[in-house]
Structure 1
Amino acid sequence: MADTAYDSEKLRQVITRKRAQAVIPNNPSRALKYPVDKHLYAQRHLIEGCFSGLKQFRRVATRFEKTTKHYLAIITLAATVICLR
């Protein structure tokens, strides 16, 4: 799932090679229009809301943790706090 700004032929080919479905609305300037699953695209707000909630935690937004292992631990902790609210 992506926004209209990410509507490019190259990205669609990469997604197709991974045997996935591209849920990207067509750019208005696109000559060849692709079908879009509007119901699936409407669920995109769940992902956006998750990232927005995680970014409310300063350590996550500014990435104080330098190693991937520690950063993943901070994200897990932040997600747990969000779920417990």
Structure 2
Amino acid sequence: MAVDACGNPIEFIITAGNVNDIVVAPNLLAQLDLSHTDTVCADRGFDSDAFRELIRSEQCQANIPYKKNREHLNVNTDWYLYKIRHLVENALARLKHFRAVATRYDKLKRNYEATVSLACALVWFGLVWLKL
């Protein structure tokens, strides 16, 4: 899931539970408009040289700490920005307030994608409603 700077969901991809996040990360990044984005924050699970290069090719900075088994040190990681990545976790928690999203009763992927899309729309609608 990708969120904006305020933690509002902007894009998601539904995968099987046994698929690693780094496998679908390039597809998620390709769906995003990164023209107004300076930095892409992610956790250690997205530590990949290929993914970092993909982010750099979009003229963005990758703020991803290295895994513990890498020989690189985390000298280039902005830890203040890294702490802000909890916005993704908060967005997932807000979506799980919807029972159909939290329990996934839907058998088909397309039906569950529609349910998550509706929940994201309701989150955004709540933001618009508060501004009225």
**TM-score, normalization: structure 1?**
0.71
Which is greater in Rg?
1
> Which structure 2 residue ranges, 5 or more long, are not aligned?
1-40
CA contact (8 A) 1:60 1:75 kept: no
Shift of 1:70: 6.6
Q: Residues of 1 paired with 2:98 and 2:112: CA distance? A: 18
CA contact (8 A) 1:23 1:40 kept: yes
Give the SS at the match of 1:15.
Answer: helix
Q: Name the structure where helix makes up a greater proportion of residues.
A: 1
CA contact (8 A) 2:42 2:64 kept: yes
For residue 121 of structure 2, what is the aligned residue in structure 1? 76
Shift of 1:21: 1.4
The number of residue pairs the alignment matches comes to: 82
- 1:21 paired with 2:61, answer yes
For residue 66 of structure 1, what is the aligned residue in structure 2? 111
For residue 52 of structure 2, what is the aligned residue in structure 1? 12
Q: Residues of 2 paired with 1:46 and 1:54: CA distance? A: 12
For residue 96 of structure 2, what is the aligned residue in structure 1? 55
> Which of 17, 21, 41 lines up with 2:82 in the alignment?
41
Q: Name the structure where strand makes up a greater proportion of residues.
A: 2
Shift of 1:23: 1.3
4+ residue runs over 3 A deviation = 67-71
**TM-score, normalization: structure 2?**
0.50
